[in-house]
Every structure is written in structure tokens, then in C-alpha cells.
Amino acid sequence: MSERVSRYIKQQGMVSDGDEILLAVSGGPDSVCMLYIMHKLSCEMGFSLRLAHLNHSLRGEESERDAAYVAELAAALGVPLCQQKVSVKAYQAEHHLSTEEAAREMRYAFLCRTAAEYGSAAVAVGHTTDDNIETVMLHLVRGSGTRGLQGLRPVLNRTVAGEGCLRVIRPLLGLSRAETQNYCCEAGLSPVQDVTNQSTDLLRNRIRLEVLPMLRGINPAFEETILRTAFIAGEEMALLDEVTSQMKAELVIRQDNVLMIEKIEMQRLHPALKRNLLRQMLEELLGGLKDIEARHIESIIQTLDKPAGRRIDLPYKLVFQVDYEHYLLGWEIDELCPYPPFQGEYRLGVGTETILDGWTVKTEVLPSPVGLDLSESTLVAYLDMDKAGSDLAVRTRTEGDQFQPLGMEEAKSLKEFMIDNKIPRSWRARVPLLFSGAEILWLVGYRIGQSAKVDENTRRVLRVEFKLQN
């Protein structure tokens, strides 16, 4: 088994000569097996060890027993040990987490701090193929998407909120749980047993104790099938991540707490690249993907073709918002209003270009409505020239403005229309309005008015284009 672990470590590039590896040892069979194998290999492969044990204080005397047992192992092998005792229950209540989530967060925070304090190159955890299979099934049940099929990775960089980045290695990922237990038995070791592993209150335990045995009855080679699927998914996701990272570096711009990408660039991407790019953007902002589910990504995807101003609220008060020319993801997005501020009223000539504060407005008359590209841009409008007239002006909203949007039989308050169309409050005073006399012909970027729509009787078309100045 030591030779198998040695080959796996070398194959995955887990350890370099001279590294210190921090071993996360709970006292159970998997971590004890890892400790003894890694202790043997440390001399052969030229790395050193340090042990880490976190007492979660969840099982009273059993938790104290586990901590004492790990201390005995460290002393027997002459390996330095870092221990800490915490209250998972208190942390759980403060952060409104499940016991399992709270314990995991506190454990990885402890490991990250300890690795940073002693300069450890990586933290080794004792996950086995059984853990990998259970993780894949857990991800499928929770709906984590294709990415969840890859299960546990041999090596990963894990971002720990408030602590930094932690390099995690899994040297036993090629061994089964039965093999680690046999190793301990044959070596005369007596690892501790966590009785909570037999409780079906936890979803992972229910999968291990109830679901997997049933699936083995259907397909005796079920484990091999899952592991093969996880391996293929991992290889494909690694390639997708590499390609996406290159694209992200080229396309995504960060401004304070907001990530921006041009709409036209995003719309050109394959759906798989869109999803992965959004995932990487979320991960950059949050430092991880905790509480981000496939449904959040899909809700953003379904919003990409919505008009400017549409927004989605995400976990941790993140917001995704559609702009005229960009998609925005982050916090305090309203402060990045795309509309330049301007005041006063501007007269527009027909067949001319007019410079406003931050805008260039071009008007031209087309001799026929045939062949109009109505999907050209949200900043281009086509109106019936004879209905619109030549008395054109641009201003922003004023109190009491009324607007009859295209397709509606009656006018409504402009304020009500802006609210219904989810135009952010901070944007509304900047949205240009195209007028003819007292009639709103176009709420720029959103909707033209009913009064000047192009129909079967239209002879001449007035094309109006707003361009943002650089």
C-alpha cells in the first residue's frame, strides 16, 4: 500500500523534496493509515511532517479521547503536533449553519492558519475512493451540475474565507476504506471510531449506509462506474477551466467590487463557457462557491437577453445586472450607472448629429420601412417620421411625465413604467427621453412610444441612434 500511495503522490505531483506536509489527523482509520504511510514515505521522498488535530467538542468525552489518541500517535512517531479545541455548536448558532457545515468551515480555517504559521507546503487529508463515490452521489442529489460529477480532486487550492488559500492533497484517494481499515488492523493500530458515522440523520451517511448498498445490488460494479465517470469529468473540467481562465483574463474587467464583461463578447460564447465564466467570476468575488448552486448560474443565463436594468439578487447580497453594453456582477452596482448625467433640454435636428453630455445622437430619415433591423441595438429606435415630426428634443424625466409604451392602449406614469421594468432607482434620473412636443417618443434603451410606431402605413422612417461617448 505504501508503494501504491508513493506512485500516486508522484503521479499527481503532490509533494516536492524539502516540503513540510501538514497531516489532518482525526484519529479514525483513514487518517491514521495516512499518518503511518506518509511517515514511512517522508524519509524515502524527502519531505517532513507535522500533525494537526481540531477538537470540535461535539461528542463530549469521545472528542477528548480522540485528541488524546492523536497526541499519543504524534509522540510515538516523534512528529510535531498542533492541536486546538473549538466549539462548533457556538459557531453553528452564530452563522446559521448545519453542524456538518460549521465543523468543516472551522476545520479548514484551523488548517489554513496552521499551515500559514509553520510554512507547510500543503495539507494532507485522508479521503479515500469511498469518500469520492459518496461525494459524487451527494453532489448529484443536491444538483451541483456537471462539475459535481468530478468528485474529490487529488490536488486543489481551496480558498478559506478570511484566512487565505490552502493547498490540499489527498494521498489516499486511490485506496478504499476497507484497505485503510485492514492496514490499521495488520499494523496493530487501534484507531478511534466516530459513532456519528452510523447516524442516518446526515445525508452523506444515508447515502453510504442506504443508497450505495442498493445501487450495488443493481450493479455490482457501480463504484468503478462512478469513479470512471468522476475521472473523465475531472479531466474535462480541468480543460474547460483552463480555457475559461484565459478568456476571463481577456474579457472581464474589474472595477472596485464589480466585474464587467461586454454583452457582445458574452453572447458569442458557447453556453458551457458562459456558465463556467460566470462560475469563475462568482468565485473571484466570493473567494469560493459556498451556497452558489447550479440554479443561480441558470437564473443568470436566462437573464442575458433581457433589457438593460434587469437584475438578479444572489447569495451574499451579490447582484447580477444587465447594462446597455455590459453585464455587471458584484456589489454596489448602482454606483456604476452606465448613463452619463446631463441636465437641461436639447433640440435635435433631423439628419444631423447632436452632442449631448456624454452622448452623441444621430438622426436620419430612411425612405422605406423595408428591411429594418429592429434587433440592431437597444440604443437605436425606428419611428414613423410623419407621426414623430421634426420638433424633436431630448431631456431626462420630470415629475408627472406620462408615457404610452408600444403595445399599450393607454398612457401610464413614467415612474410606474420604470418601476415595472426594474430600472434601478439611481439610473432613472439619467435615462434620456426623446420628445416631440409634449409626447414621449422613446425611453432610450427600453421602449418606444405607441404614438410613433412603424406600421403598414408608414412611408418614411426616422432612425435615431444614441452613442455613449468614450
Return the CATH superfamily for domain 2-229.
HUPs (3.40.50.620)
- CATH code of the region 252-336: 3.30.465.60
Average pLDDT of the chain?
A: 90
Looking at residue 291, its pLDDT comes to 76
> DSSP string spanning 383-448?
EEHHHH-S-EEEE---TT-EE-BTT-SS-EEHHHHHHHTT--HHHHTT--EEEETTEEEEETTTEE
Looking at residue 269, its pLDDT comes to 94
Question: At which residue does the C-alpha cell 426623446 appear?
Answer: 434
Looking at residue 97, its pLDDT comes to 85
Looking at residue 51, its pLDDT comes to 97
Residue extents of the structural domains in the chain? 2-229, 252-336, 346-468
Looking at residue 159, its pLDDT comes to 80
Residue stretches of the chain with pLDDT short of 70: 144, 334-336
Q: Is 344 marked within a binding site?
A: no
Q: How far is it, in rounded angstroms, from Cα 168 to Cα 354?
A: 60
Which cell goes with 42?
517522508
The CA distances from residue 341 to 333, 354, 429, in Å, are 16, 16, 8
Question: At which residue does the C-alpha cell 408608414 appear?
Answer: 458
Q: Is 29 marked within a binding site?
A: yes
Q: Is 213 marked within a binding site?
A: no
Return the CATH superfamily for domain 346-468.
Phenylalanyl-trna Synthetase, Chain B, domain 3 (3.50.40.10)
Closest CA to 287 of 389, 163, 143: 163
Q: Is 28 marked within a binding site?
A: yes
Q: Is 30 marked within a binding site?
A: yes
- Tell me the Ramachandran region of residue 466: left when phi exceeds 0, alpha when psi lies from -120 to 50, beta otherwise: beta
Q: How far is it, in rounded angstroms, from Cα 25 to Cα 117?
A: 18
Q: Where in 1-131 does DSSP place strands (E)?
A: 20-24, 48-55, 81-85, 122-124
Strand partners, 52: 24, 82
Model pTM?
Answer: 0.67
Looking at residue 36, its pLDDT comes to 97
Looking at residue 112, its pLDDT comes to 94
- Tell me the Ramachandran region of residue 78: left when phi exceeds 0, alpha when psi lies from -120 to 50, beta otherwise: left
Q: How far is it, in rounded angstroms, from Cα 1 to Cα 33?
A: 10
